Structure 1
């Protein structure tokens, strides 16, 4: 029974190691051929915990680090004079704790900024209405902008939690990817035009994909938003949908600032920004690509990033088509 446990278990008697299950032999690197005699344990932390437990008659806990992993060692005396040791891998637990702690810190910081702005603007607005009514309208616009930013951050946080926690089978659903691309590119058309950008849309009449329309909208909206926000003045944004074999492919590309190879490893992390100042000026929450990654996973799709610093970025999403759906041919451009 001990041999089948997923944790490392060892038993020590007066002569040394009396038993080690397969997981223990892996963790402390015991020689499997040494079963006929007590093998030497190459783990000083384990040996020290055993000696202390035998000497004090009490349970001893310590930690062991090996090959970049962290382990908890618990040594306890037994009624028959042996010392039992259980070694548990803490690496994933610690990593999860770090991610959660960083998430709370980042979320608190991101919420603190617009809240502080709203409070300051509210105080200034009260004085302006009394002394300088002409400035009141400008302050109201700033107040609305900060409130909208905070509202968007809260919505993104709720979407992220929903995408991360959703489990089990879901009701069959489908979405028209082509229509969502048309809708989202129309939404950002004015912002793109103000920056002199060329916004190009190449989609079929219909391109149905399997999955929640809300999740597909999250993917399209955030990719289009990023392509505009991180583009250069006078640049080009292209959103394209096509059928490739048994997949429906969405490509959103820009000719903007691009992403360095180092940043490409982290852009899908929550609150990670390649250019924090530019992102905040554009109203970004730092959650866009994290939302895209989780939504694509929920849609059983694939996500690919291709970027060259200073030249632009292309994000490609491959999604399963809705059952029996076929993307309609694209309409020719107007003369």
Structure 2
């Protein structure tokens, strides 16, 4: 009501002003009748001009509002409409601007939700693939790309992208056809390597659309660990059984008439003693592996002379050295010092030296060398032994693994856990070990530690 009164007063003032000006002018020059006609024309024209101006301004406000609405429909960001406070459309446009503000807030919220969703998908340790009712892939996270050894596609993309993985594509088709989720183990050849994935599909539908979501979980490492655990139990049982059987057998023999013969009794007791020592070594090595993986290191790092440490450990295995007549060539500089955990480094050095002696040929040689770089230090143990076939080199760090029979026959003693212990200790200290071997020539183990 106030807006209409304001308009009316403005019109009145303008008309009166024009009338006064016109009257003054006409009074001086024209007759009275003609004055009245001219004044009436001026008054009427001015009034209708002002009415047209106000209506045109209101129509423009509505046109701008319509344009803003269309831009939102087209996906643009909402923008407010500016309008004079005395416009007839003030209330309507104010409500429109409030609606625009709400839409902006919702768009911002939706963008944040989408970003969170994309971040979650990218960080999931499982592969996620979603196929819509047009058989287009509209979700394909980075984990799925890595698992299937594919470049992350620009979405949406046709389901034919998965044509190389026929079993996976077939599983998706079955889920669409049966309208029910599936679960199976997929054996896929990925980049020349056999992979085992647990694939779970979910069928989703509403009144208009259907979709299938696929969750891929990599079981390759899990199944490998399970096989290693099973092998470890089988091998451990065998390793424990062998000395126990010998101890039991010779003990029973001594309980019989053989125990009356002094020389036989001493021979059998020595065998029992030797087998007991083997059993003790085996138990200690198994316990060492468990401690490495599950107990925190309570020792502290210290500066160690690697040359002297090698010399000390070589003396500690003299019973093996003398038996096989092996020569040590220590090319490590006598002032070569490193900073690490002495107890762990001692175990690593001793196991590698013992391994080099046991698998060497008679009158063979063990040569050690060491070097430092800007970011790491390393030492190598090279023997002149029987070597390791290429197809067995990947397994030498497995627990109880000893290779083929010809390699096992050269073993004087040991538990088959030495290299496994070395590998675990290096992993504990972010170190690494490399193997280079040639059958009939020898083997070189290179141990690498990061600089402290």
| TM-score normalised by the chain length of structure 2 | 0.60
Please report how far the alpha carbon of residue 47 of structure 1 lies from its aligned counterpart in structure 2 after TM superposition.
5.3
Which of the numbers 137, 156, 160 marks the counterpart of 1:35? 156
Check conservation: 2:132, 2:138, Cα contact below 8 A: no
Q: Which residue pairs with 1:197 in the alignment?
A: 326
Please report how far the alpha carbon of residue 170 of structure 1 lies from its aligned counterpart in structure 2 after TM superposition.
7.7
Structure 2's unaligned 5+ residue stretches are: 1-116
2:413 is equivalent to residue 294 of structure 1: no
In 1, distance between residues paired with 2:332 and 2:178? 74
In 1, distance between residues paired with 2:142 and 2:382? 48
Which of the numbers 175, 180, 186 marks the counterpart of 1:64? 186
Please report how far the alpha carbon of residue 225 of structure 1 lies from its aligned counterpart in structure 2 after TM superposition.
0.8
Q: Which residue pairs with 1:305 in the alignment?
A: 435
- Does the residue aligned with 1:268 lie in a helix, a strand or coil? coil
If each structure's helix is expressed as a fraction of its own residues, which one has the higher value? 2
Q: Which residue pairs with 2:348 in the alignment?
A: 219
2:261 is equivalent to residue 132 of structure 1: yes
- With over 3 angstroms needed to count, the CA separation of the structure-2 counterparts of 1:278 and 1:116, relative to structure 1, is farther
- With over 3 angstroms needed to count, the CA separation of the structure-2 counterparts of 1:14 and 1:119, relative to structure 1, is same
In 2, distance between residues paired with 1:186 and 1:30? 56
Check conservation: 2:259, 2:265, Cα contact below 8 A: no
User: How many equivalent pairs are there?
Assistant: 320
Structure 1's unaligned 5+ residue stretches are: 324-335
In 1, distance between residues paired with 2:298 and 2:354? 31
- With over 3 angstroms needed to count, the CA separation of the structure-2 counterparts of 1:134 and 1:94, relative to structure 1, is same
Please report how far the alpha carbon of residue 273 of structure 1 lies from its aligned counterpart in structure 2 after TM superposition.
1.7
- With over 3 angstroms needed to count, the CA separation of the structure-2 counterparts of 1:52 and 1:167, relative to structure 1, is farther
Higher Rg: 2
Please report how far the alpha carbon of residue 22 of structure 1 lies from its aligned counterpart in structure 2 after TM superposition.
3.0
Please report how far the alpha carbon of residue 94 of structure 1 lies from its aligned counterpart in structure 2 after TM superposition.
1.9
In 2, distance between residues paired with 1:270 and 1:284? 12
- Does the residue aligned with 1:62 lie in a helix, a strand or coil? strand
Check conservation: 2:381, 2:444, Cα contact below 8 A: yes
Please report how far the alpha carbon of residue 115 of structure 1 lies from its aligned counterpart in structure 2 after TM superposition.
1.9
Check conservation: 2:126, 2:144, Cα contact below 8 A: no
Please report how far the alpha carbon of residue 34 of structure 1 lies from its aligned counterpart in structure 2 after TM superposition.
6.6
Q: Which residue pairs with 1:149 in the alignment?
A: 278
In 2, distance between residues paired with 1:205 and 1:47? 63
Please report how far the alpha carbon of residue 241 of structure 1 lies from its aligned counterpart in structure 2 after TM superposition.
5.2
Check conservation: 1:25, 1:32, Cα contact below 8 A: no
Check conservation: 1:256, 1:312, Cα contact below 8 A: yes
* 1:1-335 → structure 2 map (5 Å cutoff): 1=117, 3-4=121-122, 5-12=124-131, 14-17=133-136, 19-23=138-142, 26=145, 32=153, 35=156, 39-40=159-160, 42=163, 44-46=166-168, 48-50=170-172, 53=175, 58-66=180-188, 67=190, 68-78=194-204, 80=206, 82-127=211-256, 130-165=259-294, 171-201=300-330, 205=334, 207-238=336-367, 240=368, 242-245=370-373, 249-274=378-403, 276=405, 279=408, 281-319=411-449
In 2, distance between residues paired with 1:194 and 1:46? 59
Aligned Cα root-mean-square deviation (Å): 3.5
- With over 3 angstroms needed to count, the CA separation of the structure-2 counterparts of 1:182 and 1:275, relative to structure 1, is farther
- With over 3 angstroms needed to count, the CA separation of the structure-2 counterparts of 1:32 and 1:317, relative to structure 1, is closer
- With over 3 angstroms needed to count, the CA separation of the structure-2 counterparts of 1:55 and 1:169, relative to structure 1, is farther
- Does the residue aligned with 2:317 lie in a helix, a strand or coil? helix
- With over 3 angstroms needed to count, the CA separation of the structure-2 counterparts of 1:77 and 1:207, relative to structure 1, is same
- Does the residue aligned with 2:214 lie in a helix, a strand or coil? strand
**CA offsets per residue over residues 26-74 of structure 1, 9 Å max, x none?**
36779945727x6445355445545655666654211223222222221
- Does the residue aligned with 2:244 lie in a helix, a strand or coil? helix
Please report how far the alpha carbon of residue 133 of structure 1 lies from its aligned counterpart in structure 2 after TM superposition.
3.6
